[in-house]
Chains A and B, each alone.
Chain A
Amino acid sequence: MKTTFGSLFVLIAALSATAARGETVTVPLSDPSRPAVIKAELINGSITVESWAGKEVVVEAIGRDDEDGGRGDRRRGRHGDDDLDASIDHAVNDAVRGALGGEDDDDGDDDARSERAKEEKAKGMRRIPNVGLGLSVEESQNVVRIESESWRRAIDLKIKVPASASLKLATVNDGDLAVNAVGGDMELSNTNGSITVRAAGGTVVANTVNGEVSVTFARLNAFKSMAFSSLNGDIDVTLPPTINADVRMSSDNGEIYSDFELKLAPRPSQVQEQRGGAGKFKVTIGKEVYGTIGAGGADLLFKTFNGDIYIRKGKS
């Protein structure tokens, strides 16, 4: 019984802590009968989008912990409980400077000196943690733009959208893009993280640099060209079983696997003319593999450098 109460207390504490660091914005659409377009952009953090039965777009932003874990009780200076941290910092800094062949502290560069001056001025004071999310949400004619000006701190966005919405999502560091059961077209861009789409209903273009791209489709009635690409990561795409498409696949340091009866087509060679001194020309045979699924149709591109490619046949 005691344990139950204990864990309940912990749970409540955790919830209220989250509530204090997050904020939720409900955005009414100008015309709820038409599909919405959601454009969300972050520098640090994840974006998760899910469809729901409501007519509004609900944006929840949660800031990750500050450098000091959001305690806000770090103090500067030589007196107080957290002195040890500060003096260790100083000792480490001094040691590093010494090891790098630096001279006296006081002869350090201007940056270090102004940093010291700042520290001196705030000696013994409590730090007020930066909990701002810098969140801005704008809606105009069914287009919802979501941004955060917070560049030092990671912000995670959880967005609920009507199922017909289309998406344009981008993040750079410290986060993944995840989309579930959204029916519109989507363009997803990440740099240091993965992209995961489940039960997609529209055209998907997904590109990351360091991370996996994983996409499954619920249905795909009419679609335009799609592209799934990464530099360091697998590409794993599950397509509807009855699809007709022309595919291009390329993995420099990996394998390509598929459940479909892929009819491979001859790869067109690319001729590069070098108008150099000798007037040579060069024929490059591309590393891409060409093929068709079913009767052929819109173009699908699967591309990675270090990773495998999986093109799976979904269940009908």
Chain B
Amino acid sequence: MRRISLSTLAIALTCAAAVAAVNRGTWHTGAIDGLSNAALVERQTIQERLAFAPGSGAHRVDIDNYDGPVRVIAEDRDDVALVVHETVSAESRELLAQARRDVTLRRVADGPTVRVTVCGPWCDDEKRNCSFHGWERAGYRVQYEIEARVPRQVTLLARTVQNGDVRVEGVRGDLRIENVNGSVSARGVSGKGVFGTVNGDLEVLFAANPDGPSRFSNVNGDIDVELRPGLAADVRLKTLNGEMWSDFQYTPLPLAGEVDRRNGRFVYANNHTAAVRIAGGGPELSFETINGEIRLRRKDH
């Protein structure tokens, strides 16, 4: 009995490892915005430490990716440790060289701020004519898998667009965690912030309840937010195709619409589907999705 279970475990582990390896190997051939006939692939790993200027005050970290996942882990440290796997694929040597010229991973430590930005033809920061119509048209593709270890207390931006999830663990501060085609998962976070995706699941597990207004948005996917006992908040919710659920006791609040006057027009709109107060009320938490459920969970321990 015991032997069998051990060998099963071994098989399971081998499978898991194989899957992981396959995932790593095929990571660049996502369904979205793919490059179908890449002849050349170059890979490298960048490891770097970026320091905040000493005594520069509240720290800020921006991780702004485009194609690939982002993972941010809070640790007892006072700099940012970066591990980035870069994959460049191209249809020819010329295009590979072009890819290297066009797409860069900018790493900047500027006073209290550390910025890691993937910059490609879509970054028009020099105000030249820029046109980016996807990798397929460019004939090359550059992807980054970014992992950043940051201090526990930072103002954080963590973002990607496609082919990867955004995962944040344990950060405390003012947070902006966003994705477009993929999920967002923030665990053990605290502070306040903006959390959103368009196509994917959104999960935010708070270690301590939000201390300021926070927004959770999705379009095609659920919103799961785990909060702590003793929560006091004013909650506004909207979903078009889905239900809304709460572990917390609540009292309904009147839904107020907004009047807007522009160009001699009077426009009144009230689009929210529910507003509730939890305990005595507090920071405004707003939840909005179109096709998905909204769940406010209570985590007791």
Chain A residues within 8 Å of B, Cβ to Cβ: 19-20, 23, 25, 27-28, 30, 72, 76, 118, 121-122, 124-141, 149
Q: Of the candidates B246, B247, B252, B266, which one forms a contact with A20 in the assembled complex, judged by CB atoms under 8 Å apart?
A: B252
B67 at the interface (CB under 8 A from A): no
CB distance from B22 to the nearest CB of A (A): 26
Are B293's CB and A121's CB within 8 A? yes
Given contacts A121-B295, A126-B246, contact A134 B270 (CB under 8 A): yes
Query: Which residues of chain B in 250-280 are interfacial with respect to chain A, using CB atoms and an 8 Å cutoff?
Result: 250, 252, 254-257, 259, 264-274, 276
Measured in the bound complex, the distance between the Cα atoms of B257 and A62 in whole Å is 14
Measured in the bound complex, the distance between the Cα atoms of B247 and A124 in whole Å is 8
Q: Of the candidates A30, A131, A149, which one forms a contact with B274 in the assembled complex, judged by CB atoms under 8 Å apart?
A: A131
B245 at the interface (CB under 8 A from A): yes
Given contacts A121-B293, A131-B252, A132-B274, contact A126 B245 (CB under 8 A): yes
Measured in the bound complex, the distance between the Cα atoms of B243 and A25 in whole Å is 27
Are A132's CB and B255's CB within 8 A? yes
Measured in the bound complex, the distance between the Cα atoms of B269 and A134 in whole Å is 7
Given contacts A30-B264, A125-B246, A136-B268, contact A20 B274 (CB under 8 A): no
Are A132's CB and B266's CB within 8 A? no
CB distance from B269 to the nearest CB of A (A): 5
Q: Of the candidates A23, A118, A128, A140, which one forms a contact with B246 in the assembled complex, judged by CB atoms under 8 Å apart?
A: A128
Are B245's CB and A23's CB within 8 A? no
Given contacts A131-B255, A135-B270, contact A140 B264 (CB under 8 A): yes
B237 at the interface (CB under 8 A from A): yes
Are B268's CB and A118's CB within 8 A? no
Measured in the bound complex, the distance between the Cα atoms of B264 and A122 in whole Å is 46
Are B272's CB and A132's CB within 8 A? yes
Q: Of the candidates A25, A126, A138, which one forms a contact with B265 in the assembled complex, judged by CB atoms under 8 Å apart?
A: A138
Are A135's CB and B257's CB within 8 A? yes
Interface string of B268-301 (1 = CB under 8 A from A): 1111111010000000000000000111010000
Q: Of the candidates B247, B254, B257, which one forms a contact with A25 in the assembled complex, judged by CB atoms under 8 Å apart?
A: B257
B238 at the interface (CB under 8 A from A): yes
Are A125's CB and B295's CB within 8 A? yes
Nearest A residue (CB) for B269: A136
Given contacts A20-B254, A23-B257, contact A128 B270 (CB under 8 A): no
Measured in the bound complex, the distance between the Cα atoms of B264 and A125 in whole Å is 46
Contacts of A138 in B (CB 8 A): 265-268
Measured in the bound complex, the distance between the Cα atoms of B224 and A187 in whole Å is 47
B138 at the interface (CB under 8 A from A): no
Given contacts A122-B293, A125-B246, contact A130 B273 (CB under 8 A): yes
Top 8 A-B residue pairs of the complex, sorted by shortest distance between their CB atoms: A132-B273, A125-B245, A128-B244, A139-B266, A137-B268, A122-B245, A140-B265, A130-B273
CB distance from A189 to the nearest CB of B (A): 24
Given contacts A133-B255, A135-B257, contact A128 B271 (CB under 8 A): no
CB distance from B265 to the nearest CB of A (A): 5
Are B257's CB and A118's CB within 8 A? no
Measured in the bound complex, the distance between the Cα atoms of B276 and A25 in whole Å is 22
Are B245's CB and A127's CB within 8 A? yes
Given contacts A126-B245, A128-B245, A131-B255, contact A149 B271 (CB under 8 A): yes
Are A129's CB and B245's CB within 8 A? no
Nearest A residue (CB) for B267: A138
Nearest B residue (CB) for A144: B266
Would you give 23 A-B contacts (Cβ < 8 Å), ordered by A?
Answer: A25-B257, A27-B268, A28-B266, A121-B224, A121-B293, A122-B295, A125-B295, A126-B250, A127-B243, A127-B244, A128-B250, A128-B274, A132-B271, A132-B273, A133-B255, A134-B273, A135-B269, A136-B269, A136-B270, A137-B269, A139-B265, A141-B264, A149-B271
CB distance from B198 to the nearest CB of A (A): 20
Are A131's CB and B273's CB within 8 A? yes
Measured in the bound complex, the distance between the Cα atoms of B244 and A72 in whole Å is 10
Nearest B residue (CB) for A72: B252
Contacts of B239 in A (CB 8 A): 130
Contacts of A23 in B (CB 8 A): 254-257, 270
Measured in the bound complex, the distance between the Cα atoms of B276 and A72 in whole Å is 11
Are A133's CB and B267's CB within 8 A? no
Nearest B residue (CB) for A135: B270
**20 additional contacts, CB 8 Å, given A121-B222, A125-B247, A137-B267?**
A20-B252, A25-B257, A25-B268, A76-B245, A121-B295, A122-B245, A122-B293, A125-B246, A125-B295, A126-B248, A127-B243, A127-B244, A128-B246, A128-B250, A128-B276, A132-B271, A132-B274, A134-B270, A136-B268, A137-B266
